[in-house]
Structure 1
Amino acid sequence: MRRSRGLVCECLGAATCPDGAANGTCVTQPGGYCFVAVEEVLDDSGLVVVDRTAGCLPPDESGFMQCKSSQVPHQHPKVIECCFESDLCNRRLQPALPEPPPDVTESPGAGGAGGAPTLLLAAALCVALLAALAAALLLLRRRRRAGKRPPSPPAPLPADASSGSGSGLPLLVQRTVAKQIQMVESIGKGRYGEVWLARWRGERVAVKVFFTTEEASWFRETEIYQTVLMRHENILGFIAADIKGTGSWTQMLLITDYHENGSLHDYLQTVVLDTNSLMTMAYSIVSGLAHLHMDIFGTKGKPAIAHRDIKSKNILVKRNGQCAIADFGLAVRYVAQRDEVDIAPNTRVGTRRYMAPEVLDEKLDVTNFDAFKMADMYSLGLVLWEMCRRCCSGGKAQLVEPYALPYHELVPPDPSFEDMHACVVRAARRPGVPARWLASEPLAALAQLMCECWHSSPPVRLTALRVKKTLAKFRTETTVKLV
């Protein structure tokens, strides 16, 4: 039952007390909680210390904070405990960080007359071991104080020179990066949250701030970006991720490279492409998708990943004319060792306009990873269609269609699931291919590829690797003809 009044809670730390006050008290909203949290952090000298905070937890955040261990168990150790039975109940809470497992091997005990000497010997060994451990810890602490400092995180590469995403910086350094970020201005909003242009160590970066309701998206996107061997020039460059929370607010941050040209969706509305730019962009997008879909075997191999939300708004345009795929909040991975698909517990289902027929018809086999890859290829075909509309043919800029979303003439601006099902599944409609495309060799080649990508039968669709090889061959042959 929801409580009719708020609790009075003890608060510790300026960040958790109202109005920046020092240690004191705070009052929760009706149905709220009191909490105490302990967390390992780096102090100014570079030592790992335990930071203790306490305060009020609103009812709408209690499910998110979960009143227990950190939401990111593989990052900084953190434990949270909550209570609600009485005012100032959190004064009695004493959360403690888990102790590391002891590195000792048990010896079988001796029975009978020889038991006592054996126990005495074991006790003496334990005392000696503890003394040696204490001496080692004291020496290590003195050495740290003598001059060890936290490593300086490397500055991010400029947006046009980044080598792409990888496993990111060390996790503790990522927290340091997040604290050094200076927000500049909001540059975009979506259903997941908001994107900010920010500065870090003199460089421009993008900071994606997630709504508290989008915890699953933030967690999955962080996991995907930190996948080993994710680094690729056509996947958005990842820098750091962090989560910040108090009793009154929570921020989930994802820090990446910044690309001033924005999304492909925005770029195509104002820019007319020539055939060379079109082929460069198309090849870069499918190269990023092919790398994503590829599994790399080995001790530190990369699992195959399907994006599940390919669209022009989730593709960024780099300064060098190539593109980078972004937004992995819905991605799924294939775990080859267990032959299973790792699907994140996320309520988001993708963008209806770009959903493949089998997704709209609710016939996609979620146990078959190839089915997710083929759904990506359908969406890729629609993105290629958007790009071709904005490419001039025959050197005449006037021969260009205005920018439009796929199926713009067939469904409402914000189509429902039923709208798309009626159009794509029942009527089997696809975006139209203008006659001028067939008269231009590059546009005709892409038109053929997109039609094979959005085929109604998933097994018939081209793979990302096949599209990449086809475009690479076409670009080589075109270059030879020009020479």
Structure 2
Amino acid sequence: MFSRLFRLSRLSRFSRFSRFSRFSTMLWRLLSALECVLLAVSLQSVPQKRRCVFRVTPRNRVRFSAAGTVSSSEQRCENTRCCVGNFWVEAGRAEPQVLACDLVEKSCPGPSCTAQPRFSGIVKCVCNTDFCNGNLSWSPEEEEAPSSSSSSSAGILLLLLFLLLFLLLLLLFLQWRCGSVQLLGDAWRPLQVVRRGRFTTVFKGRLGGRAVAVKVFSASQRRRFEAERRVYRLPLMSHAGILRFLGAGRCARGDGRFLLLQFAQQGSLHSFLSSHSSSWTSSLKLCWSLSRGLSFLHSELLLHDQHKPAVSHGDLSSSSVLVLADGTCVLCDFGRRGSGTRASGAGGDRATLSPQGGAWPAALRYAAPEILEGSVNLSGGPGSFRLQGDVYALALLLWEICMRCQDLFLGKSSTWHLLPYELELGATVSLETLVQHVSYMDRRPSVPEHWALLPQGPALAELLTDCWDAEPDARLSAQCVVDRLMSLQSRSSA
């Protein structure tokens, strides 16, 4: 009996083991099949690099080259599966301006490059097949053809109604806020005046628990207000190197206007340098952030059906640059000379350099030689000479910052804060004196001789020389200044 039980027990264990073995085998096969399926799906889901026709203008080459590897007229996309084309329409013909990989991943469901009108004179297309941006599906009638879809029209109308309601509420809020900013009112009496000028007054206030700057324009300065607001409200204008714009409106009392702006904790670059000397790292941070902001301002952007034109500052000085709490610079005060959006007459830019109430404007010493001489005509709008004039002023600002850098003076105390040409021409200058010194004598601010003994000294001196060259076309671009400063930073940290 015991032997029979023993045999039954062995048979039972063997049966359980056999069932377990068959189950394990089935499970292993199932997992193997699942692994194969997942592997096949994953291989299919790996996006193949899109190939697009590559043809851009010289100004856009650097920006669109970063979207993928370029080989002759072909580009292999790195971050997107979309090819893009931007075309300039003239006389019924579409001429390509940008053919490349798109800069960022976005929806491009169509296999062919079908025109999408953007604004007058420009059409755009995106597509998702190789070299599809080389053939534009477009006809002149399509550019101005209205939509025939009633549902689409109703949706647009509803959107416009919501937008109108939002703008109305925003206007009521800004008018209420501006009423609180009056100089004669009581609501903002505890707030301090940050800067009081001839045409504007800047207050420090609080909005939603954070500090803000409120720049109030007198009634006679409406054109200055409109010019500055127009720059701040350009599409794609948000950047770390540009003072953040929060709103604008009309004051409740009187006919004044105001801009609501980000508050810069350390004030203007002029006041910062007057009270601070810096290390090489801090000075390089100021220079790099300032140059990066100007490079962004000078750049032309096309993104998500929005266009930001290249904009010149036109009045760059240490008073029109602010310093944030983190030690970086931001650009502001775009409306003094129109920021490259208005001409000052056929006589060049000398008209804007006339004395104001017997005193020359502070930015006169930052004016480029061609502007001091009046040899350029600004009636053509924001041309390249305006951008090159900004680069000249940028060089003087970089010199101004570096002259307060403790590490560039071999352990000695750095010099006190000097404005450009203050050492050579004194604290006050005239237009005639500057023309004689800068244009006729081709002199620039003095670069300390001992910089030649410093590791970063020769490269820094060369950068300044290449930016304040007498020939506008020989000057570096703002983006090239950014690249050189990054190279200096790499050498310092190596």
TM-score (norm 1): 0.59
Q: What's the secondary structure of 1:305's corresponding residue?
A: coil
Partner of 1:227: 234
- Write out aligned runs for 1:118-267 (5 A): 174-179=174-179, 183=188, 184-244=191-251, 249-267=254-272
Q: Which residue of 2 aligns with 1:383?
A: 397
SS of the residue 1:433 aligns to: coil
Superposed displacement of residue 255, structure 1: 1.2
Q: 2: distance between equivalents of 1:152 and 1:478?
A: 53
Task: Write out per-residue CA displacement over residues 20-54 of structure 1, whole angstroms, 9 at most, x where no aligned residue.
Answer: xxxxxxxxxxxxxxxxxxxxxxxxxxxxxxxxxxx
AA in 2 matched with 1:455: D
The superposition leaves residues 216-265 of structure 1 with CA deviations (integer Å, 9 ceiling, x where unpaired) of 1111000100111010011101111112265xx33221110111210111
- CA 1:239 to 1:394, structure 2 compared with 1: closer, same or farther past 3 Å? closer
2:472 to 444, 453, 458: 458
- Alignment of 1:305 with 2:317, yes or no, is no
Structure 1 residues 416 and 333 mapped into 2: Cα distance closer, same or farther (>3 Å)?
Answer: closer
Identity across matched positions, percent = 28
Aligned pair 1:424/2:457, yes or no? no
Aligned to 1:473: 487
Higher helix share: 2
What secondary structure sits across from 2:251 in the alignment? strand
Aligned to 1:441: 455
Partner in structure 1 of residue 429 of structure 2: 415
Give the whole-Å Cα distance in 2 for the aligned partners of 1:176 and 1:230.
26
Deviations 1:346-387 (A, max 9, x none): 974572111100001001242361000000011011101111
Cα shift at 1:444: 3.6
Structure 2 letter corresponding to 1:178: C
Once the two structures are TM-superposed, the CA of residue 192 in structure 1 deviates from its matched residue by: 3.1
- Which residue is 1:17 aligned to? none
Per-residue Cα deviation, 1:381-411 (whole angstroms, up to 9, x for no partner):
1101111110012686533111111111333
Counterpart of 2:281 in structure 1 is 276
Paired residue for 1:405? Answer: 419
Amino acid at match of 2:374: E
Q: Which runs of 4+ in 1 moved over 6 A?
A: 149-153, 344-347
Q: Determine helix, strand or coil for the equivalent of 2:396.
A: helix
Q: Which has the larger radius of gyration?
A: 2
- Cα deviation digits, residues 55-74 of structure 1 (max 9, x gap): xxxxxxxxxxxxxxxxxxxx
| Partner Cα distance (1:393, 1:440) in 2 | 9
Mapping of residues 310-349 of structure 1, within 5 Å:
310-330=316-336, 342-343=342-343, 348-349=352-353
8 Å Cα contact 1:180-1:200 kept in structure 2 = no
- Quick check: 1:228–1:302 contact (8 Å CA) kept in 2? yes
SS in 2 for 1:309: coil
For 1:362, which of 374, 394, 412 is the aligned residue? 374
Q: Distance in 2 between matches of 1:451 and 1:395?
A: 19
Choose 378-387 or 171-180, whichever is displaced more: 171-180
Deviations 1:258-302 (A, max 9, x none): 112101111111111101001111110000000000011353110
SS at match of 1:313: coil
**What SS does the corresponding residue of 1:393 show, helix, strand or coil?**
helix
Q: Decide whether the 8 Å contact of 2:241 with 2:293 is kept in 1.
A: yes
Letter in 1 for 2:371: V
- Provide the C-alpha distance between the structure 1 equivalents of 2:335 and 2:425, rounded to a whole number of angstroms: 26
Q: TM-score, normalised by structure 2?
A: 0.58
The Cα RMSD (Å) is 3.2
CA contact (8 A) 1:330 1:348 kept: no
Count of aligned positions: 313
SS in structure 2 of the partner of residue 205 of structure 1? strand
Cα shift at 1:178: 3.3
Q: Partner amino acid for 1:320? A: D
Judging changes above 3 Å, is the alpha-carbon distance between structure 1 residues 462 and 243 closer, same or farther for their aligned structure 2 residues?
same
Partner residue, 1:7: none
Instruction: Please give the alpha-carbon distance, in whole angstroms, between the structure 1 residues aligned to 2:435 and 2:198.
Output: 22
Secondary structure at the residue paired with 2:311? strand
- Residues 98-113 of structure 1: pairs in structure 2 closer than 5 A: none
- CA gap 1:457/1:257 in 2 versus in 1, 3 angstroms: same
Aligned to 2:59: none
List alignment gaps of at least 5 residues for structure 2: 1-157, 182-186, 354-360
How many angstroms apart in 2 are the aligned matches of 1:441 and 1:212?
A: 53
Contact 1:221 1:331 in 2 (8 A): no
Summarize the Cα distance change of 1:171–1:233 in structure 2 as closer, same or farther, 3 Å threshold.
farther
Q: Please tell me the residue identity of whatever aligns with 1:352.
A: L
Instruction: Give the Cα–Cα distance (whole angstroms) in 2 for the partners of residues 394 and 460 of structure 1.
Output: 27
Cα distance between partner residues in 1 of 2:430 and 2:198: 16
5+ residue gaps, structure 1, are 1-136, 144-148, 154-169, 335-340
Q: Separation in 1 of the partners of 2:172 and 2:487?
A: 44
Report the Cα distance in structure 1 between the residues aligned to 2:176 and 2:236, rounded to whole angstroms. 23
Check whether the contact 1:437–1:443 (CA below 8 A) recurs between aligned residues: yes
